[in-house]
Amino acid sequence: MIEHANELIDEGLDRLARTVPACVEAASFLDELLDALVDPQTRSDDICAIHISR
């Protein structure tokens, strides 16, 4: 989601920072974020996502 083998981690962090503001519903935040950033057809690595809200 953030780190890809063929790019700098800064590129992934920038992509995450651009995507998060578009995910506005707290209840579906993680689903929206993963849908926007992860292509299951090309992603072969494990993904760990933690969502903590108050």
| Tens-digit pLDDT profile for residues 14-43 | 887 887 776 666 667 788 888 887 877 777
Cβ atoms of residues 12 and 6 within 8 Å: no
pLDDT above 70: residue 46: yes
Which residue range forms the structural domain that includes residue 40?
Answer: 1-54
Q: Work out the average pLDDT over 47-52.
A: 72
Number of domains in the chain: 1
User: How far is residue 20's CA from residue 36's CA, in Å, rounded to a whole number?
Assistant: 9
- Residues composing the chain: 54
